[in-house]
Amino acid sequence: MKAVILVGGKATRLLPITSNIPKAMVPVLNTPFLEHVICHLRRHRITEIILSIGNLAGPIESYFGDGSRLGVKLRYAIEKTPLGTAGGIKNAAGSLDEAFVALNGDVFTDLDITALVAFHRRKKATATIALTRVDDPTSYGVIGTNAEGRVSCFQEKPCPGEANGNMINAGTYILEPDVLAKVPPGAEVSIEREIFPGLLEQGAPIYAYSSSAYWLDIGTPEKYLQVHHDLLNGKCRQYVLDLRHEVTIGAGSNLHPSVRVTGPVVIGANCSFGRDVTLVGPSVIGAGCELMENSVVDKSVIWPDIWIGPRVSVKNSIVADRCRLNADSIVEESVLGCNVTVGGGYRIVPGSRLLAGTTVGDKP
């Protein structure tokens, strides 16, 4: 079976960390998010993958190439204009003549795709939609089913108190080629709002597959930080931290003997940590970072090539690549885009989101 991954979104909800990088390349545990998705498919013996790309395709193609490094075969389908979810799938998979997997490229999950495919075949479905349970369904597409799992209704982003349950569209589908015939070529069409409801009206067999798999849409900085905490705390089977080694240190990194680490913490390659640095997990430090004496990183995600000066404190925050945090500065519950400079002694107001290239406070 082949797969189509939709990776063409502009990722505006993830700003400012996606100002110069596509969402697919945002690092999760120091590895591009899309690499986790591809490796998950490969574990389920899906090795022919088509990437539907519309925004910032260059960095993705440059990094992944033909996919051979990851043991898969990649093909790229470029959208010249936005085509929506259904249009993007058709643009990428228009020549497929057998059932295939389609999935949104902004969801981290350990869904059992092998079981999903088996369910689809057993039900002889035209389309099968993976479901997940959420506490608040008002931001998602709610799907109602009968006792056999056949879809009975769709409810897109219901108002509070009006949802027909809390099982939502999890963004992973098994589709027969017949579905593509319903999508006009070159048009912007939503599979969730247009194609699936249309198939339902026509009586097509659409089924829903419920599971308790880990699932998280990483579309906001808050969720992006959460996925790191969840993965490091062992809440997802796709990445299980070896509890015998709660601290993972990349090649070439140098930690002063006085560094204090409370795991789980992942440290990238070629980092340098000075005297009395404190690291508190769950935290991730990217490659090539330098943390000076008495600095603190607590429950945060630090991207590559960050300079953190003496006595700097970073807590519950995301710091994108090539930032410079000067001595005695404080960053709490904030998001810093790339190339941000924080002046010495300056405190970032919690909840701040600093755009790429911003300078706040006085430089030393």
315 noted as active-site residue: no
| pLDDT at position 242 | 56
pLDDT tens for 29-59 read 999 999 999 999 999 999 999 999 976 788 9
Is pLDDT larger for residue 11 or for residue 96? Answer: 96
pLDDT tens for 132-184 read 988 888 878 889 889 899 999 888 887 877 777 788 899 999 999 999 888 99
**Domains of the chain and any CATH numbers:** 2-220 (3.90.550.10), 247-360 (2.160.10.10)
Average of per-residue pLDDT across 342-359: 95
Q: How far apart are CA 234 and CA 47, in angstroms?
A: 26
Q: How far apart are CA 327 and CA 342, in angstroms?
A: 9
Average of per-residue pLDDT across 24-32: 94
Sequence letter at residue 160: P
pLDDT tens for 201-257 read 999 999 999 999 999 999 899 999 999 999 998 888 776 655 446 899 999 999 999
pLDDT tens for 100-118 read 999 998 899 999 999 999 9
CA 17 to each of CA 21, 221, 324: distance values in angstroms, whole numbers, following the listed order? 8, 8, 15
| pLDDT at position 129 | 96
**Through-space distance between the first and last CA atoms of the chain, rounded to whole angstroms:** 58
**Helix %, strand %, coil % of the chain (to 5):** 20, 30, 45
| pLDDT at position 160 | 79
Which one is catalytic: 80, 123, 124, 157?
157
| pLDDT at position 245 | 61
